[in-house]
């Protein structure tokens, strides 16, 4: 390489470094200005490096005056094009950034949605806008769930308070009547004691449901899993509910398919689920009706089903999706003394879901059918 070549290379490097320093200093000074201005400075830095090289070459007579003038014209045109394109890019990026900023503000305000994403935004900003839309959708869903839970909590507190006050007021009145000897005949006294015992049992059941529901919702429910044959579980549940069914004149039947499915479950919790369903069916079936509990493999053969069919007359279609919510009892059942605080089915759903199963209800025949589906083994 000749000496002139080395001189040209060194001078070019020095010119490029000088233009880079000038461009960097300009960008630092304009760091708070718009993206369009900074993009124009960056575009002009390359033109400046070439201009410095041209000026140095002209001063050393490496190029003719005519060629120098041509280069200056070319550089002027290149600079104009670079600045124009940089300005257009800056405007597009600025508009997209402003729209994304508006989306972020709306997301922070929580006013529902972030609006439409910017059109023709650069790739990174388009990805950010899409993420903001997804985040907004998730937040809206979470807020809806939180609002629903808050409504359920308030309804639960109101209904439980009613179910506590009413029997407590009755028990207190009967105790005062006994203390003041307002009633003294043996038959009335015995009836008062039986009524107080029944109300206390109902209050104890309500407290137990509240405790179980709190364990489910807090994640403190511990399952002691074991392999259990469904015929044994159904038999125990039918035996426990037989007295209540007989007292009301209801024909309670249990049917288990052969061979009996063996399911990995926690016996106390699933027995409670089945008892809740049976008690609910007996409570709402008129005297002389039939309640049938069936168990067996599901259609896939990979899970087990337990169904309870009653003769309650059916549930309004609009209420079928709400029967497992806390404190749901239906208008006809919101009377003191009918048993339960509207928590039995909510507890049942929580216990079934803790076993990775599902519970459903639909109108069938003279009433409705509740179905519990459980996997044969926990995965």
Res 60: pLDDT: 61
The pLDDT tens digits of the residues spanning 227-240 come to 888 888 888 888 88
| Contact call for residues 348 and 277 (beta carbons, < 8 A) | yes
Res 290: pLDDT: 92
Res 251: pLDDT: 92
pLDDT level of residue 36 (50, 70, 90 thresholds): low
Res 346: pLDDT: 84
For residues 267-284, average pLDDT: 89
Query: Which tokens go with 159?
Result: 């209904």
The pLDDT tens digits of the residues spanning 307-361 come to 999 998 888 888 887 788 765 655 443 333 444 445 788 888 888 988 889 999 9
Residue 263: CB atoms within 10 A of its CB come to: 24
For residues 136-163, average pLDDT: 76
The pLDDT tens digits of the residues spanning 350-377 come to 889 888 899 999 998 889 999 999 988 7
Instruction: Report the chain's mean pLDDT, rounded to a whole number.
Output: 77
């Amino acid at each position: 390489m000749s000496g002139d070549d080395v001189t040209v290379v060194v001078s070019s490097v020095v010119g490029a470094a000088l233009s880079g320093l000038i461009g960097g200093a300009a960008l630092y000074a304009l760091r708070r200005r718009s993206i369009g201005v900074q993009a124009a400075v960056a575009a002009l830095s390359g033109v400046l490096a070439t201009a410095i090289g041209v000026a140095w070459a002209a001063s050393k007579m490496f190029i003719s005056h005519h060629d120098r003038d041509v280069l200056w014209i070319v550089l002027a045109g290149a600079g104009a094009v670079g600045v124009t394109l940089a300005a257009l890019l800056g405007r597009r990026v600025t508009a997209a950034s402003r729209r994304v900023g508006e989306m972020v503000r709306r997301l922070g305000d929580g006013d529902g949605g972030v609006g439409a994403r910017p059109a023709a935004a650069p790739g990174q900003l388009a990805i950010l806008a899409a993420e903001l839309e997804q985040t907004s959708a998730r937040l809206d869903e979470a807020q809806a769930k939180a609002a629903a839970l808050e409504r359920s909590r308030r309804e639960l507190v109101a209904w439980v308070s009613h179910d506590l006050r009413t029997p407590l007021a009755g028990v207190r009145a009967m105790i005062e009547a006994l203390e003041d000897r307002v009633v003294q005949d043996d038959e009335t006294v015995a009836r008062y004691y039986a009524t107080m015992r029944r109300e206390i049992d109902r209050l104890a059941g309500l407290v137990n449901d509240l405790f179980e529901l709190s364990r489910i919702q807090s994640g403190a429910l511990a399952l002691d899993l074991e392999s259990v044959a469904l015929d044994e579980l159904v038999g125990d549940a039918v035996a426990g509910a037989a007295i209540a069914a007989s007292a009301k004149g209801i024909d309670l039947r249990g049917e288990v398919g052969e061979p009996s499915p063996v399911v990995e479950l926690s016996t106390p919790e699933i027995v409670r689920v089945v008892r809740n369903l049976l008690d609910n069916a007996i409570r709402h079936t008129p005297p002389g009706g039939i309640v049938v509990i069936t168990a067996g493999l599901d259609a896939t053969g990979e899970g087990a089903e337990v169904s309870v069919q009653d003769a309650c007359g059916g549930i309004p279609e609009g209420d079928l999706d709400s029967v497992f919510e806390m404190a749901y009892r239906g208008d006809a059942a919101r009377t003191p003394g009918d048993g339960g605080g509207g928590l039995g089915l909510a507890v049942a759903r929580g216990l079934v879901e803790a076993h990775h199963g599902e519970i459903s209800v639909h109108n069938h025949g003279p009433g409705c059918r509740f179905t519990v589906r459980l996997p044969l083994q926990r995965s």
